[in-house]
Structure 1
């Protein structure tokens, strides 16, 4: 809950920043200057681009560190069964011990994301997913979008593995974490996929409610309608980034750590991932530069199953 509270506060800050920024822009453009037409649209788009760049910068150096600290605490709880007395201080210390600066953490995570994206695209096709979740055959269009959303949380599970194995160098821990995902991707991606499908169903109901609200606001004028939509957008942002996203992240991390418990990285799975992700070679190369040899073959690796192609 301390981390949820911090993320909630950060979410409120981002929402208020958005309301103030676009409220000021709209007031200047339509109230003070009085522009309209194409020029007004272009200026609004420009203001949106500037705001997006600002938020991206803040997200990288503020919210990303909060996320990493939360991941470190979740990993510790899963591993030991105990919650640190001061979660915020513990998470901050873990992040500072593992990564000298935020940019280092960001760089590692970006490479991990690229590897996961390439790997998931190769192995998590709709036909293969339907082999172990037959009901997905009826949801082909929705599942295509859901896979991408579900996979976006998995890099954080890899970071959790890195925090638990502080005896390993950074890129070595990243390599081994990716290899373990290669051995456990079905339950990890499958559980997250169900959550995302539930989110999409909730979103459809929410959009239906917004359609009714839009009709009711039609007679109150442009300014009132704009302010109402900004407030609603702020509440949605706070709810998602402050509450829902941390919960989904926790489910993904715990599922990954539980499934990976007792598993060991092996060269067969590493080769399997390398065949499906060109970027993984960069991770392996960086790990070797740290002086860590590649994992040895293991005897319990099973040949690829027909139609699935997943080791283990």
Structure 2
């Protein structure tokens, strides 16, 4: 069922609300922490003067702590929700509905546990798929370099490579969606086998997915620029007001305002835009691989060009042998 991106967005709204809630709590905590670090930095400026590198060290520590905490939240809190969202998208694309009597988030978590056992298995598999696709994309672009003798083709290949590199952050979830499709079809195969076949199918159909990738990357860039400016101007104005009596600290607090704008933009992007682009990539992937079977000759070629893909295939064989 070819459900539109916006319809998938509205039908899976509970996942967006959950993400907004979690990122909102994190953002509030991050701003409070940054506020405390600002106060410490202000004292440092008062005590040692603007020329002291201590303020810069305090700000670097603050940024490092916030970034590290964000990675922790995404790895141990949000990952199950993200993959659960993938399972619901697949079900909606297949049947147009999900089983009644269950909340979407609860249903998605249940699907992850049923198909992967634990979120940790899904995370490890996702990481392996991501690494394999990265190597395969580089190989695809190197093949494209053969046409570099055509005027302007090198620039085009470079642009495509940059677009696919950014889109890679969402393609691994699209490939993971293939695992849910195979399970829903009742296929008796390991998730590692489904994932390796999903990678091959991506290599077969990447040209068809490119249009979605281009649109997604343009959308991401425009969103980041516009939202960053929306946050940056009022924060810069606030920092100017705060430092009106201490002009020497103006530059330092202005820099902090830009960091704050970047953090808020990143949180809003990850809460709203990342799952929306994931929907677009999954939909495009599923449409483009429809009726395709993994090409064994291409699989053999990929084994020779990607060590990460070979690891994925070997893991699949190990799991199949242990199940016998």
1:125 Cα deviation from its structure 2 partner: 5.5
Among 41, 53, 64, the alignment partner of 2:68 is 53
Q: Which residue is equivalent to 2:40?
A: 28
1:44 Cα deviation from its structure 2 partner: 2.5
1:107 Cα deviation from its structure 2 partner: 0.9
1:116 Cα deviation from its structure 2 partner: 0.3
Q: Which residue is equivalent to 1:40?
A: 55
Q: Is the 8 A contact 1:7 1:63 kept in 2?
A: yes
Matches within 5 A, 1:1-312: 1-31=13-43, 36=48, 37-85=52-100, 86-124=103-141, 127=144, 143-166=160-183, 167=187, 168-204=189-225, 219-220=240-241, 221=243, 222=250, 229=258, 232-233=261-262, 235-291=264-320
What SS is found at the alignment partner of 1:262?
coil
Q: Is the 8 A contact 2:228 2:265 kept in 1?
A: no
Q: Is the 8 A contact 2:131 2:308 kept in 1?
A: yes
Q: Is the 8 A contact 1:154 1:253 kept in 2?
A: yes
Indicate the larger mover: 34-43 or 65-74.
34-43
1:97 Cα deviation from its structure 2 partner: 1.0
Deviations 1:15-57 (A, max 9, x none): 1122122112222342489565212222332333333323222
Q: Is the 8 A contact 2:192 2:316 kept in 1?
A: yes
Q: Is the 8 A contact 2:200 2:299 kept in 1?
A: yes
- CA–CA distance in 1 between the matches of 2:179 and 2:47? 53
- CA–CA distance in 2 between the matches of 1:61 and 1:288? 28
- CA–CA distance in 1 between the matches of 2:255 and 2:32? 13
1:209 Cα deviation from its structure 2 partner: 6.5
Count of paired positions: 290
Q: Is the 8 A contact 1:156 1:249 kept in 2?
A: yes
Q: Is the 8 A contact 1:19 1:230 kept in 2?
A: no
- CA–CA distance in 2 between the matches of 1:185 and 1:212? 40
1:117 Cα deviation from its structure 2 partner: 0.2
Indicate the larger mover: 212-221 or 145-154.
212-221
What SS is found at the alignment partner of 1:264?
coil
> Residues 41, 82 of structure 1: CA spacing in aligned structure 2 closer, same or farther, 3 A cutoff?
same
What SS is found at the alignment partner of 2:221?
helix
> Residues 240, 136 of structure 1: CA spacing in aligned structure 2 closer, same or farther, 3 A cutoff?
farther
1:251 Cα deviation from its structure 2 partner: 0.5
**TM-score, length basis structure 2:** 0.77
Q: Is the 8 A contact 2:209 2:284 kept in 1?
A: yes
Deviations 1:194-237 (A, max 9, x none): 22024324545566677866875674224985785566445423
- CA–CA distance in 2 between the matches of 1:285 and 1:111? 12
Structure with bigger helix share is 2
- CA–CA distance in 1 between the matches of 2:225 and 2:155? 18
Q: Is the 8 A contact 1:126 1:140 kept in 2?
A: no
Q: Is the 8 A contact 1:3 1:66 kept in 2?
A: yes
- CA–CA distance in 2 between the matches of 1:48 and 1:149? 23
Q: Is the 8 A contact 1:136 1:143 kept in 2?
A: no
For structure 2, list consecutive stretches of 5 or more residues without a partner in the other structure.
1-12, 244-249
- CA–CA distance in 1 between the matches of 2:64 and 2:202? 36
